[in-house]
Amino acid sequence: MEVIIRPDADAAAELVARIIAKELRANPHLVLGLATGRTMERVYGRLVRLHRKEGLDFSLCRTFNLDEYVGLAPEDPRSFRHYMNEHLFGHVNIDPRNAHLPDGRAADLEVECRGYEAAIARAGGLDLQLLGIGQAGHIGFNEPLSALRSRTRAKALAPLTLEQNAEVFGGADKVPRRAITMGVGTILESRRCLLLAIGAEKAEMIAKAVEGPITSMISATALQLHPRCTVVVDDAAAGRLAGSEYYRRIFATEPEWEEFRGLK
């Protein structure tokens, strides 16, 4: 795992967008795992800008989102499909047939989840999985006690997650109780993971995810098992990391990061 600390939220999001753009330029057929949430809005805004200003091409790439609420139709403004259309798909040249999310309204959720895993496998597996982290320490909607080998499935949302998403639904009691989510095992099979966290409210979970013991209570800790995981945080989200000076030195000196160091 590598941890990159940027001075503020914009610089952190810019770095994440530039890493994605580099991967996409190197492989136009990239299979990209996507996340939703407030954190990702900054990243998608930048990807849209790169598409418009630098011709970043999404026409051949395939995307698979991490999750979707059970029971919400794609056109529901609170659905993740709607979020993705608003923030990314509607503004870049992605082929809509290549932009996948689980169907939260599937009649048979088990069949839907198996089909989603099969579609990822048919695409050749995920090349790059973009991740946020919830206040309950989840990646995707892998709530506390999610098995480290779990696959795509319907999962009950934890109370803290309901709280975290209450605003969108007008109250925690109105948030759907379940979501379909890629499993921890599904995420760990991606060839590269890229997690972005910003803000002081993520600092404790980031410290646990990066430096704490691996536990199914905090699914983000499973990323320590991943052979190529990059965690990008702003100063505020890095606030509780014991090893931050070491992580800063790696970013300042390792050749891999040279082209990214000057980014604002």
CA distances from 87 to 23, 58, 77, 217, 255 (A): 20, 14, 12, 31, 33
Interface residues toward ligand F6R, by CB under 6 A: 35-39, 66-67, 132-134, 138-140
> Under the phi-then-psi rule, with left for phi > 0, alpha for psi from -120 to 50, and beta for the rest, what region is 170?
left
Which residues pair with residue 156 across a beta bridge?
178
Q: Are 127 and 23 in contact (CB under 8 A)?
A: yes
Residue (of 64, 23, 94) closest to 186 by Cα position: 64
Q: Do residues 219 and 138 touch, judged by C-beta distance below 8 A?
A: yes
Query: Whole-number minimum distance, CB 53 to ligand F6R, in Å?
Result: 25
Q: Which is nearer to ligand F6R, 51 or 155 (CB)?
A: 155
CB-nearer residue toward ligand F6R: 50 or 131: 131
Q: Minimum distance from CB of 254 to ligand F6R (Å)?
A: 27
Residue with tokens 């939220």: 9
Minimum Å gap between C-beta 219 and ligand F6R is: 9
Q: Which residue has the tokens 């090893």?
A: 243
Instruction: Between 58 and 141, name the residue whose CB sits nearer to ligand F6R.
Output: 141
| Choice between 138 and 208, CB closer to ligand F6R | 138
Closer to ligand F6R at the Cβ: 140 or 262? 140
Provide the minimum distance between the beta carbon of 57 and ligand F6R in the complex, in angstroms, as a whole number.
24
Work out how close the CB of 30 gets to ligand F6R at its nearest, in angstroms, rounded to a whole number.
19
